[in-house]
Amino acid sequence: MRPYGMLCVVFVALAASCVAAPSQTAPTAVATTAPAVTVATAPTVTAIPTATAPFAVIEMGDNFFDPSQLTVKVGTTVTWKVVGQSTHDLAARDGSFVNRTMSFGQTFLFTFTKAGHYGYVCMQHEGDGMIGEVTVID
Ligand SMILES: [Cu+2]
């Protein structure tokens, strides 16, 4: 065999792996007839570091929180996101969190580390009933 014949084989192998790498689609047809085969050993391509951390989202409309009542577990990170056209803000009644005016698309994150009831308002629209409460349980 000539020397570059081997090189060609290596090149083909590299090319094949390069082509194969990005298109790692999860096996769609899960073999239901082979229970012993662990399909889940496929390499995890998407790295979601906080996949196990609980989170919740509260939308801030004009002029309301959705949901206005939310119960989460200790350690949950709650994201408030403005979805309305008006600007809004946040203030916990006990002062545990406060955030100045936010406009459409902006977010505020807070992680609840203690159980309790956390009432909060949008200071601009409290009079319009823009109030909410997060209940944190162990
Ligand atoms: Cu508001």
Q: What CATH number does residue 77 fall under?
A: 2.60.40.420
pLDDT at site 53: 77
**From the CA of 70, how far away is ligand 1's center (Å)?**
18
Within a domain: 46: no
Q: Check pLDDT > 80 for residue 64.
A: yes
Distance CA 61, CA 103 (A): 11
The predicted model gives 80-95 an average pLDDT of 98
Question: Do 85 and 32 share a structural domain?
Answer: no
Range of the domain at 12: 3-41
**From the CA of 102, how far away is ligand 1's center (Å)?**
9
Distance CA 18, CA 20 (A): 5
Question: Do 33 and 60 share a structural domain?
Answer: no
8 A C-beta contact, residue 130 and residue 94:
no
Question: Do 117 and 91 share a structural domain?
Answer: yes
Distance CA 111, CA 97 (A): 10
Within a domain: 124: yes
Tally of structural domains, the chain: 2
The predicted model gives 22-37 an average pLDDT of 48
Q: What is the mean pLDDT of the chain?
A: 78
Indicate the pLDDT class of residue 85, thresholds 50, 70 and 90: very high
Distance CA 81, CA 90 (A): 11
Within a domain: 118: yes
pTM, two decimal places? 0.63
Question: Do 7 and 60 share a structural domain?
Answer: no
| 3 state DSSP class of 75 | coil
Question: Do 62 and 31 share a structural domain?
Answer: no
**From the CA of 81, how far away is ligand 1's center (Å)?**
11
